[in-house]
Structure 1
């Protein structure tokens, strides 16, 4: 353990004695184990390296109840966010885990044992109480509440951990530093007053100005410590964000600032999270911590209102200022004054003075459309990185997913659409026909519901990867079940592309008439079992972007209507 500049104790649990560590490694290989989730991995790393001091493990039931209800550990120490290891009870029973057991915790990326947990207890949480008391809401639009209700497993396992191996990272290794390493850096640089800045978004000129103002006011240096663990769903990926941070660092006066990454899994918990962030930055050796407007806020609830007030987080952190042992630097939002070419806090701008600002929504619109982003808002180096990661719509990939009965005409529409998109140019076009996928990708599958779902999921995976690469993907399976189609939509959306579901709703009698191979007649005669439209259901989609019937509309007109959808959303058109 290392004494902190604040008089506290940094509980770095990593073992430097190699024989002891090797013995724990050997023991871990013999123990029952669980593989950590991404959030648990982030939590464990900060427990082991002291970022979560004074925690030495995952919360027991008594600790969990105390933190949820009173924002403190049972000994009275301030701690505001519950840190728990959730595991399925069935898995624990299979492993024979009970109070007094020792359990290995493995890295999901390389299966290495990272720690051994001495199990103190197993318990079921009060999820409703945690949602209301920690996050102030039961609204599943809050990402932490949604995660709590839909992603956490049924049993929490509490107990202290012993470090075996540190998690290995392969990205930005030079700027991933433990609390001990950050403190050593401060000593080497002779920094005695350090203002820490938390961010999960790209930084622009206003952020640079805010941090410089904070350093100037407190006669301090600046630690830029962005979160690179889990953040809010939909946030820009951490690779892009770190490239932005690296580009903005030279904009600080020489020697003023350092960049170091934080593998934190955010909860977007507003006021409680702001206190938590302050505790973490104290552990990293900062003497001051910037708390901005709506710090760690998740945005709007399901009724369109903010989850937290704009300065609730500042108020709660200031309430605990005496025991936090880190000075809080509250900041108002900065706005640009074009007449004097400077930034100023909104509460300091005289009435009548002209101001300019670009919201996050407006920035995303400009990136999407390729509209200019002025230099007063962001540095050209930052804009270039954001444009590379967020190309305009006409450079992004998309998937057109045609679904319908056998011989409905969806394959003919798909082929004609492929020709139209190839003629348009600008991106590669891939065609995934149902029969081709069955031969090349799913030849071992039959036609049970489960096997059909697997087949559609494979199509979704391929479509998502093509979309991610900026291609146009046209898929045309029967895909008779709604749940499987919705999964494909989610896969493509997660890949960052557009998804268009086209229901080719040609009536069954017309499909039978168009079936030159006579497959329908064989199904009607009972020679083929489980045939869609005959003795197996086709669930007509209610969420299709376009419904078409080849008995009423020509194929060329259907293709034109699909092209109009793509043009409307900016995927094709003027370049």
Structure 2
């Protein structure tokens, strides 16, 4: 574990042990307690190990964490805006104490690092959300992650990295900070402006980066995030293929492409400062900071969570400490009379015609297979995206029926399945709650945790069916809104459609039917934790479709579902 002092960006912490030491430590680690890292923890570990998170030397202890949450400062006063923490389960935490050594493993069980425990504590997730992200609104993905995915205990401690997480994709583009600095030095690049992106690049982005590089008199590094981004973003495989096409649009020897294995938090202003520190560690001298940089979008009331220039303001505030200069984003627009792009503040809209396609309009055109004009997107980039995002009629989708026991959801689901199979054109799979319980989750009970796990299993299977162009029909009770939202995100991340269908038959009608006698047993106290009786059902607030089967036949209900599928463009039923 050494401090490297390369010619760019100051001291770089490289936490990797040399090969011989790593093998010796690995042999000793067989008897250590082990923790399997989550996807987010894997990203954090990689950037801790390779120096991308310099000056950090491990997962934060409580003193560093408290300082970062409160004041964006480590305990020694160093500027650092985002907590880098190792969250673990309550059960695992009870086996640890300060001084213990823990083997950190990837999902395949490979030991990647050893953590020496300094302390353990239970964080206040609500305070972390408020202070770090400026909101407790569940529409913010980091807030939802803290509430629903983060484990309850944080473990701090220094790490000794035995190896970096393995990657089999785009290995020639996965340069560590040290390797990228060496490349800059070898090529004689002294001024480097980084472009942070989590989206495909179109002509406006290329024009923006041209302008930024000229203003900074610098070479350009296209440095996209390929770790974890905002749920629903284009997958990094498709994006990187697009970046490789775009790279040819720049003059030779002026621009480089390298991938950043970062788990974004979508933290807006604080995240912009974080991105600046990371790019400094990678050897850059400038960073383009965009409008609403790393912002998550709107809150639950439809208001923007961060102001458009909050990120730029915060980076400017800490400019003297960051060691990297900000290049403010200037919105580029296509001007018809010029047949080219120009900064919006240099356009006279009284005499010139500004042409633009919003992100929403672009996605609509892609869904419907409509033309994308050449002035907006490079044909090869658009073609690459069409491979990933075919028109909706060719996409897979999930129908997720939810409702009380006896509401009629399984009956409707069966009818819809038969009608889709009758029509043909795509594989159809029914994931009925009772059948899944029997074949996929037979070992689970009916506690809240087990019911949650059962629904997540259904969601995982549905997402894989959707990813491969099929129709997944799910019909569990699924009483908890957070779990249903998690399933939605799984399916939508598989580039398919998700239609939540609330079978809203009233409790009284469900009890009247009570074909299995379950409500009667629950009322008699023979069954506990029964949804609708002594365990709540959280009704969907905005499902794609709501059906009450009290006075509705199965045929009528199934037809409503088919018409909704058609209206949303997933199938032409004519």
Give the Å deviation of 1:51.
0.6
Give the Å deviation of 1:283.
1.0
Does the residue aligned with 1:147 lie in a helix, a strand or coil? helix
Give the Å deviation of 1:452.
8.2
Aligned to 2:14: 12
**Cα distance between partner residues in 2 of 1:404 and 1:70:** 46
Give the Å deviation of 1:189.
2.2
**Cα distance between partner residues in 2 of 1:511 and 1:370:** 46
Give the Å deviation of 1:349.
1.8
Give the Å deviation of 1:311.
1.7
User: Match for 1:117 among 112, 115, 133?
Assistant: 115
Give the Å deviation of 1:177.
1.0
Is 1:323 aligned with 2:301? no
Does the residue aligned with 2:260 lie in a helix, a strand or coil? coil
Aligned to 2:93: 92
**Cα distance between partner residues in 2 of 1:132 and 1:405:** 35
Q: Which moved more, 1:32-41 or 1:118-127?
A: 118-127
Q: Within 5 Å, give how 1:161-180 maps onto structure 2.
A: 161-180=159-178
Does the residue aligned with 1:430 lie in a helix, a strand or coil? strand
Aligned to 2:479: 482
Give the Å deviation of 1:434.
7.1
TM-score (norm 1): 0.85
Q: Is the 8 A contact 2:402 2:501 kept in 1?
A: yes
Q: Is the 8 A contact 2:292 2:309 kept in 1?
A: yes
**Cα distance between partner residues in 1 of 2:42 and 2:441:** 37
**Cα distance between partner residues in 1 of 2:253 and 2:572:** 48
Aligned to 1:38: 39
Does the residue aligned with 2:305 lie in a helix, a strand or coil? coil
**Cα distance between partner residues in 1 of 2:293 and 2:216:** 20
Q: Is the 8 A contact 2:397 2:471 kept in 1?
A: yes
**Cα distance between partner residues in 2 of 1:447 and 1:273:** 41
Quickly say closer, same or farther: Cα 1:192–1:424, change in 2 above 3 A.
Answer: same
Aligned to 1:187: 185
**Cα distance between partner residues in 1 of 2:482 and 2:112:** 36
Q: Is the 8 A contact 2:26 2:111 kept in 1?
A: yes
The CA deviation string for residues 228-273 of structure 1, in whole angstroms up to 9 with x for no partner, is: 1121222222222222212211111222211110011112222221
The CA deviation string for residues 130-180 of structure 1, in whole angstroms up to 9 with x for no partner, is: 333322233333222332343333332222211112211122211111001
**Cα distance between partner residues in 2 of 1:189 and 1:347:** 35
Quickly say closer, same or farther: Cα 1:373–1:381, change in 2 above 3 A.
Answer: same
Is 1:140 aligned with 2:138? yes
Aligned to 2:498: 498
Give the Å deviation of 1:366.
2.0
**Cα distance between partner residues in 2 of 1:351 and 1:435:** 61
Quickly say closer, same or farther: Cα 1:456–1:20, change in 2 above 3 A.
Answer: closer
Residue ranges of structure 2 left out of the alignment (5+ in a row): none
**Cα distance between partner residues in 2 of 1:158 and 1:279:** 21
**Cα distance between partner residues in 1 of 2:280 and 2:238:** 27
Q: Is the 8 A contact 1:530 1:536 kept in 2?
A: no
User: Match for 1:236 among 234, 237, 243?
Assistant: 234
**Cα distance between partner residues in 2 of 1:455 and 1:132:** 32
Aligned to 2:30: 29
Quickly say closer, same or farther: Cα 1:186–1:142, change in 2 above 3 A.
Answer: same
User: Match for 1:255 among 243, 253, 256?
Assistant: 253
**Cα distance between partner residues in 1 of 2:287 and 2:430:** 53
Quickly say closer, same or farther: Cα 1:185–1:138, change in 2 above 3 A.
Answer: same
Does the residue aligned with 1:251 lie in a helix, a strand or coil? coil
Give the Å deviation of 1:40.
1.6
**Cα distance between partner residues in 2 of 1:407 and 1:309:** 47
Quickly say closer, same or farther: Cα 1:508–1:297, change in 2 above 3 A.
Answer: closer
Quickly say closer, same or farther: Cα 1:546–1:62, change in 2 above 3 A.
Answer: closer
Is 1:293 aligned with 2:258? no
**Cα distance between partner residues in 1 of 2:505 and 2:328:** 59
Q: Within 5 Å, give how 1:114-513 maps onto structure 2.
A: 114-352=112-350, 353-400=352-399, 416-431=415-430, 441=439, 460-475=459-474, 479-480=476-477, 482-483=479-480, 487=483, 490-491=486-487, 494-496=490-492, 497-501=497-501, 503=503
**Cα distance between partner residues in 2 of 1:316 and 1:489:** 32
Quickly say closer, same or farther: Cα 1:256–1:548, change in 2 above 3 A.
Answer: same
Residue ranges of structure 1 left out of the alignment (5+ in a row): none
Give the Å deviation of 1:211.
1.0
Q: Is the 8 A contact 2:9 2:284 kept in 1?
A: no
Quickly say closer, same or farther: Cα 1:22–1:79, change in 2 above 3 A.
Answer: same
Give the Å deviation of 1:181.
0.9
Quickly say closer, same or farther: Cα 1:156–1:487, change in 2 above 3 A.
Answer: closer
Give the Å deviation of 1:126.
4.3
Give the Å deviation of 1:44.
1.3
Instruction: Compute the RMSD of aligned alpha carbons.
Output: 3.6
Q: Is the 8 A contact 1:480 1:539 kept in 2?
A: no
**Cα distance between partner residues in 2 of 1:156 and 1:232:** 23
Give the Å deviation of 1:443.
9.9
Q: Which moved more, 1:311-320 or 1:199-208?
A: 311-320
Quickly say closer, same or farther: Cα 1:339–1:463, change in 2 above 3 A.
Answer: same
Does the residue aligned with 1:216 lie in a helix, a strand or coil? helix
Give the Å deviation of 1:340.
0.7
**Cα distance between partner residues in 2 of 1:349 and 1:430:** 54
The structure that has the greater radius of gyration is 1
**Cα distance between partner residues in 1 of 2:452 and 2:305:** 38
Quickly say closer, same or farther: Cα 1:414–1:376, change in 2 above 3 A.
Answer: same
